Chains A and B, each alone.
Chain A
Amino acid sequence: MNTDKWVLVHADCVLEESSSGDFCEGEKINAGEASEEVVESWLAITWRRFYRNKVAVVSLILFFGIILVAILAPIISPYDPNQTVGAFDAGPTAQNIMGTDDVGRDLLSRLIYGSRVSLIVGVGSVFIYAVIGITLGLLSGYLGGTVDSVIMRITEVFMAYPHFMIIMVIVSMIGPNMLTVMLVMGFMGWPPICRLVRGEVLKVKSMDYIASAIVTGYSSRTIVAKHILPNVMSPILVNATFGIASAILMEASLSFLGMGVQPPTASWGNMLTSAQSLTVLSEQPWRWIPPGVAVLVSVLDINFLGD
């Protein structure tokens, strides 16, 4: 089927890269070097290119800021996110600087704790599908033949279901909570990365240095792990970064619909659920604007980072 079509969905900068040309240089330069040096110089080149770009540096700092907030949540949040600490539905005051919700919980504390949910689900699900996708993609691309066509048929079946809808149905069937959201997103999300890796492997496989590695007598495992994997790392990393952004969006959307992380656990998505009522929407903007902005800013930040 249209292999490249699906690859391009997630790594949407591939086209731009190939047109500007500078992205591929690094890979080509270090392609022939010994394996240890490949990893090092790849990191070094990435870092140098990264440092030159101010937007990327700012995004990185902001990203670490979000991670820091998530880690330090118990220390920096003024109250327990699940305890009634003030008046109901109160706007911002000196005690609760972002106001309280319908049962008097402090919204700032809930917002801070919500960052944990977003990051854990975002990074966790991408990690799961990256592991599955990379493994199957390497197998498919390197072995070819029957293994390849079986894996490709499976990816077609997975990709024929509308992504958001099928995740929503599965999560709500097996019982929505943070863990199931993460797992289902992880197990449903691997086909694009699998196709991406397979395509890259096919490209790398035809290079001379792979042929020479085979002639030298390296085992398939060594060739895949030390020669092929490092060379397909860049597109995987870009794909995974965008993947985290869309995973955070998806978790928030599921929780918003009440089919993701369940209250009382605070998630940016389920904090907005109440805004489906017109009273909350029109009269208590402090209840739904901050978590919405939080999702927007972190997703925007990670998208910039990936770019």
Chain B
Amino acid sequence: MCRYVIKRLLISLPVLFLISVGAFLLVHLTPGDPVDMYISPEMTQAQMDLTRSILGLDKPLFIQYFDWMKNLLGGNLGFSFSSRQPVGEIIGQRFSPTLILMSVSLLVAYLSAIPLGIIAALNKNSWIDRTIIGWTFINVSFPPFFLGLALIYLFAIKLDLLPTGGMLVLGQEDDLAGRVTHLILPVVVMASQFSANMIRYVRASVLDVMDQNYIRTAVSKGLSEMHILVAHIFRNSLIPIVTVIGTDLPKIIGGAVITEQIFQWPGIGSLTVAAINSRDYPVLMAVVILSAIAVLVANLLVDVMYAVIDPRIRYEK
């Protein structure tokens, strides 16, 4: 098991290197000069050159890359061009709101999707099944920004039940109820996207397992329906469920851009939008690298989960 994890980690290293090169080139080979942020019309050419060399932008590209990498490995992500704060600090502030939003959304999505998927499978081709499947289609097709706006319109403006955006009531940081009410709408938007995939996979997987011989054996042995459902069907449907988690987990950092933007959620997604608008290269590079690392870590976690659930994978390697 341990060797398996180490092997997977080693495979990720070259990928990680290429990701960092990609992120670096991405923000350096594009039109638009970050020095523009610092210069004013009355500056002389000498002053402009000085700003450039202070920022390290006059060096050759690969030197800039190595400087950046050296700092990155030392934990120094540089300073934001627009706010002059250390990038690490900014990311740190934005990290936990995104993590809260995403983990609550995933939890809500899975807790509702798994039972719905099982119910749909047990009532295959009935109106219940069709309604649930139809619901998943609507969920994946609903543009997240439109759903978000519609929910704000309905619940925040017309019914005045929930706040339109933000994360907490200003000045009341400890107010738990305030935090929960701010979470509801963004979580609904995120969870509706996550749940649709899960419902369909659970349904297909349960249907698949129900056809297996060992289920027939369990039925003919006279085991109770509930016991078969939990101990035989559900356990064997777990692999596709892990597959869905594997597609969802990588989105945990970079997947909430639109939702965060609509609800003014102070997370990584809205930070990215702000960094793009102000051409804040250090922040942008850090965000891209961080979210790519999150994807790799999530993939690794999922592979380990596969190995835990399915002994065949564990022993093969």
Contact = CB atoms under 8 A, between A and B. Distances in A.
A296 B143 contact: yes
Contacts of B255: 162, 164-165
A169 B295 contact: no
A8 B247 contact: yes
8 contacts: A15-B205, A169-B27, A174-B30, A174-B31, A253-B144, A272-B145, A278-B164, A282-B153
Contacts of B142: 296
A160 B303 contact: no
Interface in B203-249: 203-205, 207-208, 211, 240, 243, 246-247
B111 interface: no
Contacts of B208: 15, 18-19
Interface residues of A, number: 57
Interface of A: 1-2, 4-6, 8-9, 12, 15-16, 18-20, 153, 156-157, 159-166, 168-170, 172-175, 245, 249, 252-253, 256-257, 259, 269, 272, 275-276, 278, 281-282, 285, 288-289, 292-293, 295-296, 299-300, 303-304, 307
A256 B148 CA distance: 12
Q: Which of A18, A163, A173, A257 has the most CB of B within 10 A?
A: A173
B141 interface: yes
Contacts of B302: 2, 5
Interface in B18-73: 18-19, 22, 26-27, 30-32
B138 A8 contact: no
Nearest to B197: A12
B162 interface: no
A15 B197 CA distance: 12
Contact of B292 (A161, A269, A285): A161
B149 A281 contact: yes
A259 B149 CA distance: 18
B258 A256 contact: yes
B45 to A, nearest CB: 26
Interface residues of B, number: 64
B87 interface: no
B261 interface: yes
A293 B143 CA distance: 9
Given A161-B292, A292-B150, A295-B143, 9 more contacts: A1-B11, A2-B302, A5-B246, A19-B211, A153-B15, A168-B273, A253-B144, A281-B153, A303-B141
A18 B138 CA distance: 24
A9 B247 contact: yes
A164 B260 CA distance: 13
B15 A253 contact: no
Interface of B: 11, 14-15, 18-19, 22, 26-27, 30-32, 137-138, 140-146, 149-150, 152-153, 157, 164, 197, 200-201, 203-205, 207-208, 211, 240, 243, 246-247, 250-251, 253-255, 257-258, 261-262, 269, 272-273, 276, 284, 287-288, 291-292, 294-296, 299, 302-303, 306
B273 A162 contact: no
A282 B246 CA distance: 39
Contact of B15 (A156, A163, A169, A295): A156
B138 A300 contact: yes
A20 to B, nearest CB: 8
A246 to B, nearest CB: 8
B143 A299 contact: yes
Contacts of B273: 168, 257, 259
A173 B31 CA distance: 7
Contact of B146 (A5, A15, A282, A296): A296
A157 B288 contact: no
Q: Which 7 A-B pairs have the closest CB atoms?
A: A162-B254, A292-B146, A173-B30, A165-B254, A300-B141, A15-B204, A299-B141
Nearest to A273: B145
B258 A257 contact: yes
Contact of A166 (B246, B258, B288): B288
A188 to B, nearest CB: 11
A179 to B, nearest CB: 15
A147 B203 CA distance: 37
A59 to B, nearest CB: 11
A133 B272 CA distance: 29
B207 A19 contact: yes
Contacts of B32: 173
A288 B272 CA distance: 25
A241 to B, nearest CB: 13
Contact of B250 (A8, A15, A162, A173): A162
B291 A252 contact: no
B143 A160 contact: no
A162 B295 contact: yes
Nearest to A256: B145
A272 B19 contact: no
Contacts of B137: 300, 303-304, 307
A253 B243 contact: no
Given A12-B201, A160-B292, A162-B291, A275 B243 contact: no
